[in-house]
Structure 1
Amino acid sequence: MNYFNNSETEIIMDDVRIIVAIDFGTTYSGFAYVHKENPETVVINSSWPGREGISKTPTALLYDDGYKNVISWGNLALEEEPDEVSDDTEELRPRPVELFKLHISNLRKMDKPWLPPQLQYTKAIEDYLTQMRILIQETIERRWPTVRFPQQVDFVLTIPAEWPPHTTKVMRGCAFNAGLLSSLNSQQLEFTTEPEAAALHCLSVIKEHNLQPYDSFLVADCGGGTVDLTLRKLLPQNRLSEITERVGDLCGSTFVDKEFLHWLGRKVGFQALAKLKSNNYGQMQHLVQRFFCTRIKFKFSGEPSGYRTLKLNLHSYCPSLSQYVVDDFKEQMEEVGWVLKVDYDSVKEMFDPVIDRIINLIDDQLKNSSDEKCSAMFLVGGFSESPYLFRRVKETFEHQVPIIAVPALPIAAIVRGAITYGLNIDLVNDRILKWTYGIEVCRPWVSGDDINNRTSDGMYLYFYELAKRGRNAEVNQKFSGDFYPIRPDQDVISFNVYYTSKHDAKYCRDPGMRLLGVIRVRTHDTHLGLNRPIEFSLTFGKMEIKATAINKLTREIYEETTFELDL
């Protein structure tokens, strides 16, 4: 079966005391928590192994030699200082595992980040969430010793907007295996998208900008890996309506880091850079974080007069690199004493391809909402604090959007918004469907039918649409149809539910179609022959989908399930 039901005994929901939001990010992760009796006091965790006073820690793991057991995580997993460990020891040290979240995405296999062959990406996610769970549990038990963990804790997990529907299944399974949930099907866990959480956080600042009910605002969550956008309308009582289909792309700040390394590769040779990454990963981390990010990326404004050309001494930041540089590259580097000048034009070329993609995302969202005037745009996420990104966005859109702002603490916007969602899910009034959903049904032949879809008894299979992509669906809105058995004596009726990114589809075997799940209904009224209508419906309540089959004559509910998605 490709679904699960919620029949397991759950803890009484009124007994839940604590809400924990987890922002499991591509490059950095964080969590926040609040007691339901004191909802105004949201605490963003700022105490991490190896680092204090920051709201996030790197999404990174360091394993033992066999990549079975976690040695350290977060900041401790990344050796940034080249003199913290000898070269010989460093080469024996396993390479930290990073960016493993991207393996859920629709990236081509060749574009997905490195993972050791013996480590599945789901295992890495489970291991990371396990470390988070240990820290969360210690934190909760220290503050509220009488709270039972995890039974009296609700969790909200954020996911990127553009990722495939099976993301919730992957994350639910990993959260359960990490010990965050009492059972796999637990109602303790809710999902919200990263831009939706960001929009909910922005509810706390709309009064500062004098936004009124029925005003629209755009939120761009610019993180390390992904950039997610949502355009929302403010409704009375601070509820939110989604105006356009939420979108996202892989164009976060780490892609600027990649452009910097590409620039360096052209100077020293890409093979040399690959060997440094493979054999001396800590030195590469030190180069990117301590030199590029700290001295350039975080400060670059795009103003030529405000930029001072910097000298990069490769011997200081990555002393092992020189042994891998060969041929003409080595000769050229020796001529300049292994010192490179990083000028304004070079840095601008590192930023522009990434920021151009963000500009295009925003532009598309505004064009898709041409009937709605966008009153404000809020940039959140770590990358939103880039002076150059803000400048480019403001220069491009200031004549279309009167207010363009970065709220306070933008790096914590997602986790704070997720807490808001956990406290009051009803703040989300509706969402735009990102997929077209329907079921596979049989009917007699009609002109134009593809013979490849004919069944053994001469019927034809086709896709019956229940809900179309781009449709505005209110929370808990039901999309249904009436269906009949194809044989008088049929006592088992299967509903095969499919989804596609296309707005229109004819057959379930069309390219891009994926099976969402299967419901098999056993009936006991075969004496009625074909006159046995069954109402089948999909309800888009939250981030997961509920399917229901009801006998129209007796009103008997045959099945009520929440789908897990096939991978």
Structure 2
Amino acid sequence: MSLMCDARDIEVNVTWPGGPGTNQRLEKVPSRFAFAFENEDVKGMEEDCWGFGVPPGARSYGWFKLLLDKARKTEYDVEDVAGELTNGLLELPTDMTAKEVVTAYLTKIYNHCMEMLEQRYTANILITTPIDFWLTVPATWQAGAVDDTKAAAGSAGFGTRDGDTLNVITEPEASGIAILTEQAERNPELIKAGDNAMICDLGGGTQDMQILTIKAVKPQVQLEEAVPGQAGKCGSTFIDQQFYQWMEETFGEAFTNLPKTKIGHGSKFMKDWEGVKAAFTGAAPNKQYYVPLPALGQALGATGDHGVASTAYDFMDNAVVLSGEDVERFFEPVVEKAFDLVDQQVSSLRRRKQGSTKLQIICLCGGLGESIYVWKRFNDFCKDRFKGAVKLFTDKQAWSAVVRGAAIRGLNGNTVLSRKAKRAYGIGVHRPFREGIDQEEDSYHCPVGGKRAVGAVAWFIVV
């Protein structure tokens, strides 16, 4: 009997404290955290809040995990254009480190995870069952950031019980394992050994790209890293920034002076905008999108400013009015950065000296990978750039591909047979003196090791 895990056996948690409603399936929880000591005047903030439970208007933080890698800038980052909206993003509380904030957030995740497992399997079974925990990290993170992530998770409780383990896998690699394994099971004609597949993990804060070579399809998918991955801070949250900037430019202080409970993270206004963003399929003639914001109508009415607002705000429906062209413009910087990352990976593939230098597959995953508009743009891009030679597909659960892939990796073992070295560290060492090879001026006498030579370097390769 085979012990291999079928990809369809993976069950993703879809219930989170403070979620919008019992009928919604939420495959991920926002990386938001609010400390009670900074929000003493906020109702319901007697204790630290996280994820969906952060009240609108609370002083909160997001993207803090990126600060573990010092938020290094790359040419693929989208410029930060909206200071008000990003309040709390890539910021930390005074006198706290990124590692401490990540630990506080992961502690909440761990406690929720263990509570859910106890409800499902009972405390008696849980206490005697070892658990392998897998963390996912961006493909381009430095070794120090990965170590800090593991340390924060350990401090939060992950892998600390007897028998439990704590492991790490890169996000595009995990997503690739999930999507390619599932495609091999459902649509085996789509992939074959020897194909190069680019995994486009289009997340909220970052977009990670990585090309994997499919070495085998049966009895299980086996992969090989074709070229080192690349990433940029150009995720879907930057679409929100473009929208917010448009609101500032269009309505001025009538908008920016509104309280954060009305327009900040977690507000009904931003949740309604999320619905528009998720449902957007492309600009269409005379198509308009409405984002309710009654408080803005009251502010405009108080100032008597009905100029540009006569077309951008509907006073009958108390809603902001967007054209399809407006929404498309908000997407544009993020989509273009994604295409730049694809081009970079394809160029790296074409420069490789061994194996196929052609791309056969592009897989879209991550939250933005579920967008119909983004899929259409990628489809047009592939037809133009690759003349129909590249197959493009996504998954109906693209948002959770990364966690499903990490689970498959833990259950089925290592399916990525080899990886490209991303960096190397050299450490100066001394070694036994080699007569006729080493120079006498490099020699010295060691009381323990005898005659030695200095000036050697020991290399450590990081994959």
- TM bin, normalised by shorter chain, reads 0.7 to 0.9
Going from structure 1 to structure 2, the CA distance change for 1:309 and 1:430 (only over 3 Å counts) comes to same
Residue identity matched to 2:67: H
Of 246, 251, 274, which aligns to 1:268?
Answer: 251
Of 175, 192, 209, which aligns to 1:229?
Answer: 209
Of 164, 176, 181, which aligns to 1:199?
Answer: 176
Aligned to 1:359: 339
Partner-residue secondary structure (3-state), 1:48: coil
Establish whether residue 377 from structure 1 lines up as the match of residue 362 from structure 2.
yes
Of 19, 36, 59, which aligns to 1:95?
Answer: 59
Ranges in structure 2 where 5+ consecutive residues have no aligned partner: 41-45, 74-78, 81-88, 351-355, 432-437
How many Å apart are 1:277 and its aligned residue? 6.4
Of 392, 398, 401, which aligns to 1:410?
Answer: 398
Of 403, 406, 421, which aligns to 1:433?
Answer: 421
Of 132, 135, 138, which aligns to 1:157?
Answer: 135
Aligned to 1:393: 378
CA deviation vs aligned residue, 1:207-241 (integer Å, no higher than 9, x gap): 31522212221111111111111111111352110
Residue identity matched to 1:286: K
Establish whether residue 257 from structure 1 lines up as the match of residue 229 from structure 2.
no
Structure 2 distance, partners of 1:396, 1:65, is 49
Aligned to 2:153: 175
Residues 361 and 391 of structure 2 are in contact (CA less than 8 Å); yes or no, is this contact kept in structure 1? yes
Residues 245 and 433 of structure 1 are in contact (CA less than 8 Å); yes or no, is this contact kept in structure 2? yes
Partner-residue secondary structure (3-state), 1:395: helix
How many Å apart are 1:61 and its aligned residue? 1.9
What are the within-5 Å matches in structure 2 for residues 14-33 of structure 1? none
Structure 1 distance, partners of 2:319, 2:179, is 45
Aligned to 1:23: none
What are the within-5 Å matches in structure 2 for residues 439-518 of structure 1? 439-440=427-428, 488-490=444-446
Going from structure 1 to structure 2, the CA distance change for 1:322 and 1:103 (only over 3 Å counts) comes to farther
Partner-residue secondary structure (3-state), 1:241: strand
What are the within-5 Å matches in structure 2 for residues 32-71 of structure 1? 39-40=5-6, 41-51=9-19, 52=22, 53-66=25-38, 70-71=47-48
Structure 1 distance, partners of 2:416, 2:14, is 28
Aligned to 1:346: 326
Partner-residue secondary structure (3-state), 1:426: coil
Residues 484 and 534 of structure 1 are in contact (CA less than 8 Å); yes or no, is this contact kept in structure 2? no
Residue identity matched to 1:314: L
Partner-residue secondary structure (3-state), 1:57: coil
Establish whether residue 289 from structure 1 lines up as the match of residue 271 from structure 2.
yes
CA deviation vs aligned residue, 1:363-414 (integer Å, no higher than 9, x gap): 2212322352222211011101111111111111132543111123111100
Residue identity matched to 2:420: I
CA deviation vs aligned residue, 1:273-303 (integer Å, no higher than 9, x gap): 555465756577322221x221x21122224
Structure 1 distance, partners of 2:128, 2:306, is 57
TM-score, structure 1 normalization: 0.64
CA deviation vs aligned residue, 1:282-339 (integer Å, no higher than 9, x gap): 577322221x221x2112222424x6223455325x678669x98x978765996586
Of 36, 45, 68, which aligns to 1:104?
Answer: 68
Going from structure 1 to structure 2, the CA distance change for 1:427 and 1:48 (only over 3 Å counts) comes to same
Structure 1 distance, partners of 2:223, 2:346, is 18
Residues 360 and 391 of structure 2 are in contact (CA less than 8 Å); yes or no, is this contact kept in structure 1? yes
How many Å apart are 1:169 and its aligned residue? 1.4
Q: Considering only aligned residues, what root-mean-square deviation do their CA atoms show, in Å?
A: 3.8
Residue identity matched to 1:136: C
Residue identity matched to 1:139: M
Residues 425 and 459 of structure 2 are in contact (CA less than 8 Å); yes or no, is this contact kept in structure 1? no
Residues 151 and 181 of structure 1 are in contact (CA less than 8 Å); yes or no, is this contact kept in structure 2? no
Structure 1 distance, partners of 2:280, 2:439, is 61
Structure 1 distance, partners of 2:401, 2:47, is 29
What are the within-5 Å matches in structure 2 for residues 514-529 of structure 1? 525-526=448-449, 528-529=450-451
TM-score, structure 2 normalization: 0.77
Larger helix fraction of residues: 2
Residue identity matched to 2:227: T
Going from structure 1 to structure 2, the CA distance change for 1:220 and 1:122 (only over 3 Å counts) comes to same
Structure 1 distance, partners of 2:451, 2:430, is 17
CA deviation vs aligned residue, 1:488-524 (integer Å, no higher than 9, x gap): 3446xxxxxxxxxxxxxxxxxxxxxxxxxxxxxxxxx
Going from structure 1 to structure 2, the CA distance change for 1:539 and 1:233 (only over 3 Å counts) comes to same
Aligned pair count? 413
Residue identity matched to 1:193: T
Of 212, 233, 240, which aligns to 2:223?
Answer: 240
How many Å apart are 1:182 and its aligned residue? 2.1
Structure 1 distance, partners of 2:188, 2:369, is 18
CA deviation vs aligned residue, 1:388-442 (integer Å, no higher than 9, x gap): 1111111111325431111231111000000111123421111112224322469
Residues 485 and 532 of structure 1 are in contact (CA less than 8 Å); yes or no, is this contact kept in structure 2? no
Partner-residue secondary structure (3-state), 1:230: strand
Going from structure 1 to structure 2, the CA distance change for 1:379 and 1:187 (only over 3 Å counts) comes to same
Residue identity matched to 1:103: L
Structure 2 distance, partners of 1:74, 1:320, is 30
Structure 1 distance, partners of 2:55, 2:347, is 42
Going from structure 1 to structure 2, the CA distance change for 1:372 and 1:139 (only over 3 Å counts) comes to same
CA deviation vs aligned residue, 1:115-171 (integer Å, no higher than 9, x gap): 332543222211111111111112223334345659822111000112333221111
Aligned to 1:216: 196
Residues 264 and 270 of structure 2 are in contact (CA less than 8 Å); yes or no, is this contact kept in structure 1? no
Going from structure 1 to structure 2, the CA distance change for 1:401 and 1:230 (only over 3 Å counts) comes to farther
Structure 1 distance, partners of 2:172, 2:161, is 28
Structure 2 distance, partners of 1:162, 1:119, is 25
Residue identity matched to 2:269: L
How many Å apart are 1:100 and its aligned residue? 1.8
Residue identity matched to 2:223: L
Going from structure 1 to structure 2, the CA distance change for 1:43 and 1:341 (only over 3 Å counts) comes to closer
Of 121, 140, 147, which aligns to 2:117?
Answer: 140
Partner-residue secondary structure (3-state), 1:427: coil
